[in-house]
Structure 1
Amino acid sequence: MVDAVTTSTAASRTATGSATLASNFETFLTLLTTQLRNQDPLSPLDSNEFTAQLTQMAGVEQQLLTNDLLTSLLAAQSAGGLDNASNYIGKEVTAAWSATSLEDGKATWTYELGATASEVKLQVLNGSGTVVWEGSAPETGIGLHDFTWNGQMTGGDTAEDGGVYTLRVSATNANGGKIDSQTLIRGRVTGVEMYDGAPYLVIGDSILPLSTVISLNEIREQADNDDAENPPVPTEEAAA
């Protein structure tokens, strides 16, 4: 598994590297001055070796300046992340994300099947990873399908609103072979937020990382009078 590197983690790593370089730089200066102070007057430090050490010192100093510049660039990128994410507001997106909250007694996901399946099993898990409901999917054909859970758990209890749940899907063909499937969140983006230096989108009852978006579409709404099947009836004033 490859972990995503956010601006916050990158800045943290850069800061750690800078601290290490700074410590090594101070140690290098201490060793160099001690060496010069205690050198044998009859056998002084070779000029070529001294020049090489100065070059190394200059390289460390340059690396410190580079790290400071990288930190500034990461800070600027993090500050602009919210502005960039705001461009998604009002657009219809599809994200490879499986977590959403239960609100008004329902939680909605989209599951995608890579081929028509003989059997599709759905499982709803709570925040602790425990399966609270499982059953057969309503649709088994290839493509995208919506699924809404009403909060009724397998034991007969009803889940409370506000809890975060995830959907897990598994599909097999007639021979028992596995079919590719995934859980998605679809909907209109209504807001953006920042967590740990990374932008998140608000879609319905879900808050998901911007990096999980796999499809983006602009919503075009017709004006009230822009109806080809039911054009507006002209008034007498307009007819005159």
Structure 2
Amino acid sequence: MVDAVTTASAAGTISSGTKSLASNFETFLSLLTTQLKNQDPLSPVDSNEFTAQLTQMAGVEQQLLTNTLLKSLLGGQQAGGLSDAAAYIGKDATGVWAATELTDGKAEWNYELAANASKATLQVVNGAGQVVWSGDAPDKTSGIHAFTWDGKTTGGGQVDDGGVYTLKITATDAAGKAVTSQALIQGQVTGVELYDGQPYVTIGNSIMPLSSLISIEQRASAN
């Protein structure tokens, strides 16, 4: 598995490296100054050795400047990422995302099956990882299908608005082989935000990373 590198994590790594280099730089200067103060006048530091030490010091200083420049570039990328995300506002989008908020007694998702399924089960999971509702998928054919949960638990209770819930899909074909599936959020992009240097978009009652979007379409104008 390869983890995504965000501008925030990269900036953190650079900041940590800069602090370490700065500490080493100060230590190097202190040692070099002490060495020059305490050198034997009859046996001064060899000029080649002294030149090598100065070259090392210059290299550390250059690395500090490079890190400062990289942080500036990352800051510019963060601002650019938000601007790029803002271009999606008002457009219809589809994102591979399973979390949404229960609002007005309902939570809405889409789910996609890669092939016809003989059996397909949907589960609604709360923020604590507990399955609050489970049932058969309304459509088991290949493609994208809509699903709306009314906030009722499997036991017949009703959960309050405001909680964030996740949809999970499990599907198998007639031979019992797993059918690839995924939860989707579809709708109009209504806003963008920046979290830890990564742009997020708002679709309906879901907030998801811009990187989760798999399709963008111009919203059809009303006639």
Q: Shared fold (TM-score greater than 0.5)?
A: yes
CA distance in 2, matches of 1:47, 1:110: 73
CA distance in 2, matches of 1:153, 1:41: 87
What amino acid is the match of 2:10?
A
Deviation of 1:80 (Å): 2.9
Please give the residue correspondences for 1:195-214 in structure 2 after superposition, counting only pairs within 5 Å: 195-214=195-214
Aligned to 2:43: 43
Query: How many pairs align?
Result: 223
Aligned to 1:76: 76
What amino acid is the match of 1:206?
S
CA distance in 2, matches of 1:170, 1:36: 72
Runs of 4+ displaced beyond 6 Å: none
- Aligned partner of residue 220 in structure 1, secondary structure: coil
Aligned to 2:189: 189
Post-superposition Cα deviations, 1:27-67, rounded to whole Å, max 9, x if no partner, equal: 11111122222223333222222211111111110010011
Post-superposition Cα deviations, 1:91-131, rounded to whole Å, max 9, x if no partner, equal: 11111111000111111111111111111111100011110
CA distance in 1, matches of 2:190, 2:68: 36
- Aligned partner of residue 109 in structure 1, secondary structure: strand
Please give the residue correspondences for 1:123-134 in structure 2 after superposition, counting only pairs within 5 Å: 123-134=123-134
- Aligned partner of residue 161 in structure 1, secondary structure: coil
CA distance in 1, matches of 2:95, 2:139: 20
Deviation of 1:9 (Å): 2.3
- Aligned partner of residue 39 in structure 1, secondary structure: coil
Post-superposition Cα deviations, 1:180-214, rounded to whole Å, max 9, x if no partner, equal: 11111111101112222222111111111111111
Aligned to 1:162: 162
CA distance in 2, matches of 1:179, 1:209: 26
What amino acid is the match of 1:74?
L
Aligned to 2:104: 104
What amino acid is the match of 2:37?
R
CA distance in 2, matches of 1:196, 1:45: 49
Percent identity reads 63
2:218 is the counterpart of 1:218: yes
Aligned to 1:145: 145
Q: CA RMSD in A?
A: 1.4
CA distance in 2, matches of 1:131, 1:74: 40
- Aligned partner of residue 221 in structure 1, secondary structure: coil
TM-score where L is the length of structure 1: 0.88
What amino acid is the match of 1:146?
A
Specify every segment of 5 or more residues in structure 1 that has no aligned partner in the other structure, as ranges. 225-240
Deviates more, 1:6-15 or 1:130-139: 6-15
CA distance in 2, matches of 1:136, 1:49: 77
Deviates more, 1:109-118 or 1:18-27: 109-118
Which of 1 and 2 has greater Rg? 1
- Aligned partner of residue 215 in structure 2, secondary structure: strand
CA distance in 2, matches of 1:27, 1:124: 57
Specify every segment of 5 or more residues in structure 2 that has no aligned partner in the other structure, as ranges. none
What amino acid is the match of 1:82?
L
